[in-house]
Structure 1
Amino acid sequence: MSKIPSKPEILDWIAENPTLTAKRDIAKAFGIKGAARIDLKRVLKELEAEGHLEKRKRSYQDPDRLPPVSVLQVTGPDKDGDLFAKPMEWQGEGVEPVVLVIPRASDPALGAGDRILARLTLVQAQDHHYEARLIRRIGANPQRVLGIFRKTTEGGRIVPIDKGSDKEWWVPGDATHGAKDGELVEAEQAGPKARMGSPRARIVERLGDPSAPKAVSLIAIHQHGIPDDFPDDVMAQADAAKPVGLKGREDLRDLPLITIDPSDARDHDDACYAHADEDPKNEGGHVVWVAIADVAAYVTPGSALDREARKRGNSTYFPDRVVPMLPDRLSGDLCSLHEGVPRACIAVRMVLDAAGNKIGHSFHRGLMRSPASLHYEEVQDAIDGAPNDRTGPLLDAVLKPIYAAYAALKAARAERQPLDLDLPERRIELDKDGTVKSVNFKDRLDAHRLIEEFMVLANVAAA
Structure 2
Amino acid sequence: MIALPSKDQIRQWIAENPGLTSKRDIAKAFGLKGDARNELRRLLQEIEAEDGGKPATRRFHPKGELPPVALLRVLKPDVSGDLFAEPMEEGVDKDAGRILIIPQKGNPALAEGDRILGRLHRVDAEDHVWEARLIRRLGSNPLKVLGVFRKGSEGGRIVPIDKGQDKEWRVRAEDDLDARDGELVEGEAIANRRMGLPQAKITERLGDPSGPRAVSLIAIHQHGIPDQFPDAAMAEADAPRPLTLENRTDLRDLPFVTIDPADARDRDDAVLAMADDTPGNPGGHIIWVAIADVAYYVRPGGALDREARRRGNSTYFPDRVVPMLPDILSGDLCSLHENVDRPCLAVRMQINAQGHKIGQEFHRGLMRSRASLEYGQVQAAVEGRPDDKTAPLVESVLRPIYAAYEALLRAREVRQPLNLDLPERQIKLSDEGKVLSVDFKDRLDAHKLIEECMVLANVAAAEELQRLKQPLLYRVHEEPNPDRLEALREVAESSGFTLAKGQVLKTAHLNRLLAAAEGTDYAELLNLSTLRSMAQAYYDPRNFGHFGLALQNYAHFTSPIRRYSDLIVHRALIRGGRWGDDGLSDFDIEMLTDTAKLISDSERRSMMAERDTIDRYLAAYLSDRVGASFTGRVAGVQRFGLFIKLDETGADGLVPIREVGREFFHFDADAQTLTGADTGLIIGIGARVTVRLREAVPVTGGLILELLEIDAKALPAKRGPRGKAPRRAAARADTREKAKKRVVRRRK
Do these two structures clear the TM 0.5 threshold for a shared fold by scoring above it? yes
Q: Which residue of 2 aligns with 1:265?
A: 264
Q: Which residue of 2 aligns with 1:328?
A: 327
Q: Secondary structure at the match of 1:347?
A: strand
- 1:156-180 per-residue CA deviation (whole Å, 9 max, x = no partner) reads xxxxx9x9xx8979xxxxxxxxxx9
Q: Which residue of 2 aligns with 1:53?
A: none
1:441-460 to 2 correspondences below 5 Å? 441-460=440-459
Rate the CA distance shift 1:168–1:278 in 2: closer, same or farther, 3 A. farther
Amino acid at match of 1:237: E
Percent of pairs with identical residues? 70
- 1:11-49 per-residue CA deviation (whole Å, 9 max, x = no partner) reads xxxxxxxxxxxxxxxxxxxxxxxxxxxxxxxxxxxxxxx
- 1:72-121 per-residue CA deviation (whole Å, 9 max, x = no partner) reads xxxxxxxxxxxxxxxxxxxxxxxxxxxxxxxxxxxxxxxxxxxxxxxxxx
Q: 2 CA distance for matches of 1:167 and 1:240?
A: 43
Compute the displacement of 1:416 (Å): 2.7
RMSD across aligned positions (CA): 3.0
- 1:289-309 per-residue CA deviation (whole Å, 9 max, x = no partner) reads 001101111111111111111
More off after superposition, 255-264 vs 215-224 = 215-224
Q: Secondary structure at the match of 1:365?
A: strand
Compute the displacement of 1:379 (Å): 0.2
Q: Which residue of 2 aligns with 1:346?
A: 345
Q: Which residue of 1 aligns with 2:318?
A: 319
1:27-426 to 2 correspondences below 5 Å? 209-426=208-425
Q: 2 CA distance for matches of 1:340 and 1:432?
A: 31
Q: 1 CA distance for matches of 2:227 and 2:333?
A: 20
Q: Secondary structure at the match of 2:337?
A: coil
CA contact (8 A) 1:243 1:343 kept: no
Rate the CA distance shift 1:167–1:258 in 2: closer, same or farther, 3 A. farther
Q: 2 CA distance for matches of 1:364 and 1:416?
A: 28
Larger Rg: 2
CA contact (8 A) 1:288 1:405 kept: yes
Rate the CA distance shift 1:258–1:168 in 2: closer, same or farther, 3 A. farther
Amino acid at match of 1:377: G
Compute the displacement of 1:181 (Å): 11
Q: 2 CA distance for matches of 1:243 and 1:435?
A: 43
Q: Secondary structure at the match of 1:329?
A: helix
- 1:271-314 per-residue CA deviation (whole Å, 9 max, x = no partner) reads 10000011122121100000110111111111111111111111
Q: 2 CA distance for matches of 1:271 and 1:422?
A: 26
CA contact (8 A) 1:288 1:349 kept: yes
Rate the CA distance shift 1:167–1:288 in 2: closer, same or farther, 3 A. farther
Q: 1 CA distance for matches of 2:362 and 2:458?
A: 12
Compute the displacement of 1:424 (Å): 1.4
Amino acid at match of 1:401: P
Q: 2 CA distance for matches of 1:219 and 1:422?
A: 31
Q: Secondary structure at the match of 2:238?
A: helix
Rate the CA distance shift 1:238–1:443 in 2: closer, same or farther, 3 A. same
- 1:42-61 per-residue CA deviation (whole Å, 9 max, x = no partner) reads xxxxxxxxxxxxxxxxxxxx
Q: 2 CA distance for matches of 1:313 and 1:302?
A: 15
Amino acid at match of 1:229: Q
Q: 2 CA distance for matches of 1:408 and 1:384?
A: 19
> Where does structure 2 lack aligned partners over 5 or more consecutive residues?
1-146, 149-159, 161-168, 170-174, 185-205, 463-748
Rate the CA distance shift 1:445–1:236 in 2: closer, same or farther, 3 A. same
Rate the CA distance shift 1:243–1:393 in 2: closer, same or farther, 3 A. farther
Q: 1 CA distance for matches of 2:181 and 2:425?
A: 37
Compute the displacement of 1:226 (Å): 1.4
TM-score (norm 2): 0.35
Compute the displacement of 1:417 (Å): 2.6
Q: 1 CA distance for matches of 2:227 and 2:387?
A: 39
Q: 1 CA distance for matches of 2:176 and 2:247?
A: 52
Q: Higher relative CO (CA 8 A, sep ≥ 6), structure 1 or 2?
A: 1
Compute the displacement of 1:266 (Å): 1.7
Q: 2 CA distance for matches of 1:397 and 1:167?
A: 66
CA contact (8 A) 1:317 1:323 kept: yes
- 1:134-187 per-residue CA deviation (whole Å, 9 max, x = no partner) reads xxxxxxxxxxxxx99xxxxxxxxxxxx9x9xx8979xxxxxxxxxx99999xxx
Q: Which residue of 2 aligns with 1:65?
A: none
Compute the displacement of 1:412 (Å): 1.6
Amino acid at match of 1:238: A
Q: Which residue of 1 aligns with 2:620?
A: none
Amino acid at match of 1:447: A
Q: 2 CA distance for matches of 1:254 and 1:401?
A: 17
Q: Secondary structure at the match of 1:429?
A: strand
Q: 1 CA distance for matches of 2:398 and 2:335?
A: 21
TM-score (norm 1): 0.55
Compute the displacement of 1:413 (Å): 1.3
Q: Secondary structure at the match of 2:439?
A: strand
Q: Secondary structure at the match of 1:237?
A: helix
CA contact (8 A) 1:290 1:349 kept: yes
Q: 1 CA distance for matches of 2:315 and 2:439?
A: 21
Compute the displacement of 1:214 (Å): 1.3
Q: Secondary structure at the match of 1:281?
A: coil
Q: 1 CA distance for matches of 2:361 and 2:440?
A: 38
- 1:293-345 per-residue CA deviation (whole Å, 9 max, x = no partner) reads 01111111111111111111111111100111111111111111111110010
Q: Secondary structure at the match of 1:280?
A: coil
Q: Secondary structure at the match of 1:395?
A: helix
Compute the displacement of 1:208 (Å): 8.4
Q: Which residue of 2 aligns with 1:429?
A: 428
Q: Which residue of 1 aligns with 2:35?
A: none
Amino acid at match of 1:354: A
Q: 1 CA distance for matches of 2:317 and 2:418?
A: 29
Compute the displacement of 1:357 (Å): 1.1
Amino acid at match of 1:236: A
Compute the displacement of 1:362 (Å): 0.6
Compute the displacement of 1:223 (Å): 3.0
Amino acid at match of 1:258: V
Q: 2 CA distance for matches of 1:354 and 1:371?
A: 27
Q: 2 CA distance for matches of 1:243 and 1:403?
A: 36
Rate the CA distance shift 1:233–1:359 in 2: closer, same or farther, 3 A. same
Compute the displacement of 1:446 (Å): 0.3
Q: 2 CA distance for matches of 1:245 and 1:167?
A: 56
